Chains A and B, each alone.
Chain A
Amino acid sequence: MNNPDLLVLGGGPAGLCGAIEAAREGLRVLVVDEGISPGGQLVKQTHKFFGNENFYASTRGMEIAGKLLKELSLYPQVILACESSVLAVYPDGVPVLDRRSDSTYLYNPTRLLVATGASEKFLQFDNNDLPGVYGAGAVQTLMNQFGILPGKSVLMIGSGNIGLIVSYQLDQAGVEVKAILEASSRIGGYRVHADKVKRLGIPVLLNHTILKAIGEKSVNGALITALDERWRPVPGTEREMVIDTVCIAVGLTPSAELVAQAGGQLKYIPELGGYVPLHDSDMRTTIDRVFVAGDVSGIEEATTAMIEGRIAGLNIVKDIKGKCNETRLEELKETLSAFRSGPTSSKIRSGLEKMDLVTQPARYVEGEVNRSGEFRGKLRPIIECFEAIPCNPCETSCPVGAITVGENINDVPVIDYSRCTGCGVCATKCPGLAIFMYQEREDGMALVGIPYEFLPVPEKGQSVYATGRSGEVLCTARVDRVTRSANKTNIVYLTVPEELGRDVRHIHVTNREESSLICRCEEITVEQVKKAIREGYVDFEELRRYLRVSMGPCGGRTCRLNTLMILSGETGVPVEKLSPGTLRPPAIPVSFGAIERNAKVTHE
């Protein structure tokens, strides 16, 4: 294929969508990609996407890649070439290096779609090139694409959506995130993403940055500091952290060099990440035959990249065939505008205005979404989605139509509890994991359903730590049931005291304590005590007689309180209401001989 109708540079979300639109109308398309497999950065996005279900919302990024590739494979006149790097764009052709054969081909396409994505921004601090200092994308590649842990203990720099998402993903893979540092005074990413990492107990240190990566050949620590309001280090606040990995998530910058080589004009627009190719709403650059889509046209996210790719693809069809599906093109442009009309896109809007692409902000509803008090006792979702973000899978997934996002996709959802059946589908669908199930019971306890994407998944009846919004342990709780979901967002239902029900937002499952001792003298383990309680020994004296816990030489000084606390945790009865048992003599170990022998003298 020396002269394809369309040459697409980059097989990520934007490039694949552009190629699909062109291929659907019969154009001969060549897609070249640098990677060893296509899909761009989608293949390492394990989280569910925000947005509209018509555009893959609530689907995990890696699954979207598969769907796009499958769609593209329907068209025999499309070639997808991996391990192929574009060397330049010259007036007389585009040389592409096939790295497998280490040779180049020169292509002269009728139209060019540049969808080359972005590269990581690099942050300046001492030793910032030490092995073990990674861009956030590299951490995702190692961990989510190849299943290799980047380290054991990570310091994340930056609290934008990428920093928050990658922190969450690290925790899912079992890597400790020591802290997320944010130079400014507020978290950059979506509130639902921030809430997700906070309830794992990952601290977000605002007004903080890294000064130095410590280590000789690899990172083994970091020096961090607090910053004042003008982002200057505050003397005396420096401290060292023991970590083996620094992950930089301070943003991306468009990979626009090939557009520039094609003669396209670039403009520095910081809101869009740096030098951006000027383009119109059809995604055409200042050079007629060259289009852009996705992050290269301004840093945004994968959903908008896919819509932009389709818009570019349709316009390329129009250029070559004289017409395209105009209705569809208009719909795509409207969807894109709606997506960008909310408050979290204000930066994108002001960036796009600098190239005369105006998107009107929409009116949106933000704030209190739960008025569930009057439905006390009914199993129902509590929606903690207070920030206007472009997303509506809760609305589209509800089988009884009880949830409404409304006209603007950025609006926060409103739920009609009188129609809700408590099925919990919305909680498994919500990309922000911001929907919890809740039901007050008559015994003073409440049932809380938590969206859970971690291992191990607890069993019914198992005791876990119920944790709060900052990861703090609130109580131990019994797992009532676990509903498994095909999309792997399982819902773990717990019973907790009602006064804690509105605060419990995560669980901590630990098996480490099971083999640890509770009673040193009689060598009784935590697991043995818990097992006995489950068998029905729910009184301290019963446990003591059954297990011999607290019957050893120490007389229960070491284990009595711990046993009572386990009993309380397992039964839900507060310690003060449990009987501590009888404190029997002798108070210390003593031989019968000593008791039998009368001392010659009394104490004086």
Chain B
Amino acid sequence: MERIVEHPLLKFERGEKIVFYFEDVQMQAYEGETIAAALHANGVRMLRITPKGSRPQGLFCAIGKCSSCLMEVDGKANVRTCITPVKEGMRVRTQKGRGEKSE
């Protein structure tokens, strides 16, 4: 999963470069992106582990409708990462279950 550099129709005007953390690993993003988009750009597709079957799940609708992208963001669980902007220094974790604290 990489960023598009050249496109026949689109010019991507990306915001300021920022850093955020996924499972304590530092990653790069651009201001104005959603958390889920930034994770994808960094090769992360698995966003949560389901409560019952412990199934890995990721982005499905990307517009805030399906709740498949719920993650723990800055200690707060059940954040719809597909419609939440990534911010400098943000700490993002895979959500396990219904949002029980990971640590």
Contact = CB atoms under 8 A, between A and B. Distances in A.
Nearest to B30: A146
Contacts of B60: 120, 122, 129, 133-135, 138
Interface string B56-77: 1111111111101000000000
Given A146-B34, A488-B8, A36 B85 contact: yes
B103 interface: no
Interface string A57-88: 00010100000000000000000000101000
Interface in A509-564: none
Residue picked from A46, A148, A150, A151, most chain B C-beta under 10 Å: A148
A455 B3 contact: no
B53 to A, nearest CB: 9
Contact of A131 (B6, B14, B47): B47
Nearest to A129: B57
B14 to A, nearest CB: 7
Interface residues of B, number: 38
Contact of A36 (B1, B6, B34): B34
A137 B7 CA distance: 19
B46 to A, nearest CB: 5
A413 to B, nearest CB: 24
Nearest to A453: B8
A144 interface: yes
B40 A148 contact: yes
B37 interface: yes
Residue among B8, B32, B82, B84 facing the most chain A CB atoms (10 A cut-off): B8
A457 B55 CA distance: 44
A142 interface: yes
A143 interface: yes
Given A129-B55, A129-B68, A46 B4 contact: no
Interface string A132-170: 111101100111111111110000000000000000000
Contacts, number: 125
Contact of A218 (B9, B10, B45): B45
A151 B56 contact: no
Contact of A148 (B37, B58, B83, B84): B37
A85 B14 CA distance: 25
A147 B40 contact: no
A255 interface: yes
A173 B4 contact: yes
B21 to A, nearest CB: 19
B7 A120 contact: no
Contacts of B47: 131
A41 interface: yes
A119 interface: yes
A148 B4 contact: yes
A130 interface: yes
Nearest to B58: A131
Interface string B2-22: 111011111010100000000
Contact of A120 (B33, B65, B85): B65
A243 to B, nearest CB: 14
B90 interface: no
Interface centre among B50, B56, B57 (most CB of A within 10 A): B56
A418 interface: no
A35 B59 contact: no
A77 B61 CA distance: 33
A21 interface: no
B9 A60 contact: yes
A173 B4 CA distance: 7
A496 to B, nearest CB: 23
Nearest to A248: B60
B58 to A, nearest CB: 3
Interface of A: 34-36, 41, 46, 60, 62, 83, 85, 99, 119-120, 122, 129-135, 137-138, 141-151, 172-174, 216-218, 255, 453-455, 457, 488
17 contacts: A36-B84, A36-B85, A119-B65, A119-B66, A120-B65, A122-B60, A129-B50, A129-B55, A131-B56, A134-B62, A138-B61, A141-B37, A142-B62, A146-B12, A147-B10, A147-B14, A150-B40
Given A60-B9, A120-B60, A216-B56, 8 more contacts: A35-B63, A119-B65, A131-B56, A146-B33, A149-B4, A151-B1, A172-B7, A455-B8
